[in-house]
Amino acid sequence: MKFEAKKLKEIIQKIFVHAGASEENASIIANALVLAELRGIPSHGVIRIKDYLMLVRNNRMVLNPNITIVHETPSTALVDGGNGPGMVIGTFAMKVAMQKAKEAGSGWVSVRNSNHFGIAAYYTLMAAEQDMIGFAMTNGNPLVPPTFGLDRLLGTNPIAMSIPSNSEGTFTADFATTPIPRGKFEIMEKTGKKAPWGVLQDAEGNITDDPSILRRGGAILPLGGDYEHAGYKGYALAAMVDILSAVLSGANFGPYVPPQVAYLPLRNDLPGMGLGHFFGALRLDAFRPADEIKSYMDMWIRTFRNSKAMKDKKVLIPGDPEVEKQAKNEVEGIIILPEIWNEMFTELQAWGLTEKDLL
């Protein structure tokens, strides 16, 4: 299936309005999912619709949450997301951070009682558009053991930062703190390929290149890999994200993060509320005139882009591949795999929606 971005947005918005979301909330969800598809990150796009709706249908998420600012100072806020969709809550929280940055130079918002928020760059790009540096991070379902550990205690806990330049585009780092996403190991297994050495461990903690190990007590290591390759730094980084997202806010941390799919049961010993995020906005001209910083950023980007590269390679700026895909997909349309499209309808059926209602 191939869609224009605008058409895909309309379809997703229609789905969530039908499910009970306000026009505004449905529009935010649609924007965030479509941006993920445009930027070539389908794991955070249409494939999530069925998961979100199943959570709603099982009374594990609400579509129109009561989002509140629990506490605030001139440059910080604690937001309770009322157990709504992560992107509705995240957009609210990022706007609070940006408003505070306007008034106090910077804004930092820790969020509890939220859910999966899509791609982190969705929020950091909002800030970059207004001459701010945007930061976003979130904890997630536990998949990753700490260094020397066997229990899965941390999510893939992504970190994102965007900063605009004058003429060289926006620098956007947006990365999980694990080397390789879970989905890629499934593909390796299906195609009979080995995983790169050093990113997986078996149930006893030995390094393995067998991707099927994830179904047999194994785990994905944090960025860096094992102790010898400094994976403890990736563990520290994932821990920092977990602490800023959950310990500051009172969300569930590490192993307690509630599953973002309804077919996995909720634990009954949750110490916190929902899943946690952390957002930040730093106004450029809270340091130097924005134009000065943005033209220095031009120079930074050009220096890296024009540096010497390996044979047949070029040095990329974080965000380059996503920007390229977005430009292409905006012209050529977004491809949704038939299995993802059809799987979505198995859930939409429960809501009384058929393909005919949407196309």
Segment 230 to 259, residues that bind a second copy, using CB under 8 A = 230, 232-237, 239-240, 242-244, 247-250, 253-255
Torsion sign over Cα 271, 276, 278, 279: negative
Strand, helix or coil for residue 280: strand
Query: Closest CB to a second copy among 61 and 301?
Result: 301
How far does Cα 3 stand from its chain's mean position? Answer: 23
Closest CA to 185 of 220, 154, 151: 220
Query: Closest CB to a second copy among 269 and 339?
Result: 269
| 65, 85, 179, 211: residue in contact with a second copy (rule CB under 8 A) | 179
Distance of alpha carbon 355 from alpha carbon 152, whole angstroms: 39
Neighbours of 263 (CB within 10 A): 8
| 146, 155, 218, 276: residue in contact with a second copy (rule CB under 8 A) | 146
Site for a second copy, residues 95 to 114, rule: CB under 8 A = 103-106, 108, 110
Report, in Å, the least distance between residue 111 CB and a second copy: 10
| 33, 284, 334, 353: residue in contact with a second copy (rule CB under 8 A) | 284
Report, in Å, the least distance between residue 36 CB and a second copy: 18
Residue 277 C-beta-side C-alpha neighbours within 13 Å: 34
Identify whether the C-beta of residue 176 lies closer than 8 Å to the C-beta of residue 156: yes
Distance of alpha carbon 62 from alpha carbon 48, whole angstroms: 15
Q: Is 191 in the site for a second copy (CB under 8 A)?
A: no
Torsion sign over Cα 180, 84, 344, 29: negative
Query: Closest CB to a second copy among 91 and 106?
Result: 106
| 87, 136, 163, 188: residue in contact with a second copy (rule CB under 8 A) | 163
Query: Closest CB to a second copy among 310 and 331?
Result: 310
Query: Closest CB to a second copy among 228 and 339?
Result: 228
| 24, 58, 69, 74: residue in contact with a second copy (rule CB under 8 A) | 74
The residues with which 281 forms a beta bridge, in sequence order, are 107, 134
| 11, 161, 344, 353: residue in contact with a second copy (rule CB under 8 A) | 161
CA angle 188, 192, 194 (to 5 degrees): 60
Q: Is 283 in the site for a second copy (CB under 8 A)?
A: yes
Buried b (16+ CB within 10 A) or exposed e, 272-281: bbbbbbbbbb
Q: Which stretch binds a second copy (CB under 8 A): 36-44, 83-91, 141-149, 335-343?
A: 141-149
Report, in Å, the least distance between residue 353 CB and a second copy: 38
Site for a second copy, residues 286 to 325, rule: CB under 8 A = 286-288, 292-293, 296-297, 299-300, 303-304, 307-311, 313-316, 318
Q: Could you give the C-alpha distances from 253 to 120, 250, 272, 274, in angstroms and in order?
A: 18, 8, 7, 9
Cα distance between the two ends of the chain: 11
Query: Closest CB to a second copy among 199 and 275?
Result: 199
The conformation of residue 133, written as its DSSP 8-state character, comes to E
Tell me the site size for a second copy, rule CB under 8 A: 91
